[in-house]
Amino acid sequence: MAGKTRVGVLALQGDVREHAALLAQLGADAVLVRRPDELSSVDGLVIPGGESSVIDKLSRIFGMQQPIRHAIAAGMPVLGTCAGLIMLADDIVDAIDGQESFGGLDVVVRRNAFGRQVESFEAVLDVPAFEGEPVSAAFIRGPVVESVGPGAEVLAELDDGRVVAVEQGNLLGLSFHPEITGERRFHQRFLARVEARRRVTAPPQV
């Protein structure tokens, strides 16, 4: 197909630039998405890390909550990191009053499961889905997946068994920040999903 894969980064709050830069390095046309018409122009969406309650609030102010939910239900590939994982989870533990998510991942996540920002850390993860070196993962006030429903698949766990990466169809959720450590393989996996869906949904050539 002609043209680059066009991927949106939800630009309401969080580490938007880092994701956009990494997607561009991987050859995608990365665009910032704040409004429904911008969402409708992309083939996939990244929900970055930040503060999930703020992303939730702003998504409703900007009229993005329902369009994103509809896009997820329609099969749009979405990658969520840290707060983005919380926004993709069907259920949230320790949410603030009235906090909602976009949903789609059949998981329960706990906000701020690793403590305050000063308690941030890096860990090496074994990800069986990837060949080569283990994953270097940065955890910054990240969530943890407390339970995984039958619809979702575990991609990575910490040494103590806590789940920190899950996948379900076109949705990929991570507790950590691969865009900070230079880890590209999760974004590559996401882009492969986007490309596959583009091929299926592309109009026939005349």
**Phi, psi of 38, rounded to the nearest 5 degrees:** -70, -35
H-assigned helices in the chain: 16-25, 36-39, 52-61, 65-73, 83-88, 178-181, 185-201
Q: Identify the structural domains of the chain with CATH numbers, from first to last.
A: 6-201 (3.40.50.880)
Q: What is the pLDDT along the chain (206 residues), one digit of tens a residue?
A: 456 899 999 999 999 999 999 999 999 999 999 999 999 999 999 999 999 999 999 999 999 999 999 999 999 999 999 999 999 999 999 999 999 999 999 999 999 887 666 567 889 999 999 998 999 999 988 899 999 999 999 999 999 999 999 999 999 999 999 999 989 999 999 999 999 998 887 655 55
82: annotated active-site residue = yes
Out of 51, 167, 179, 183, the active site residue is 179
Whole-prediction pTM value? 0.93
**Phi, psi of 112, rounded to the nearest 5 degrees:** 50, 40
Out of 82, 167, 183, 187, the active site residue is 82
pLDDT of residue 1: 43
**Phi, psi of 56, rounded to the nearest 5 degrees:** -60, -50
Fill in the DSSP letter of residue 104.
Answer: -
- The answer to whether the beta carbons of residues 50 and 83 sit under 8 Å apart is yes
Continuous segment of H or E residues that includes residue 185: helix 185-201
Token output for 73: 């239900």
Q: How far, in Å, CA of 141 to CA of 94, rounded? A: 13
Place of tokens 């938007």: 16
* Torsion over CA: 193, 196, 198, 201 (sign): negative
51: annotated active-site residue = no
pLDDT of residue 115: 67
* Torsion over CA: 17, 30, 153, 135 (sign): negative
Out of 19, 51, 177, 187, the active site residue is 177
pLDDT of residue 82: 95
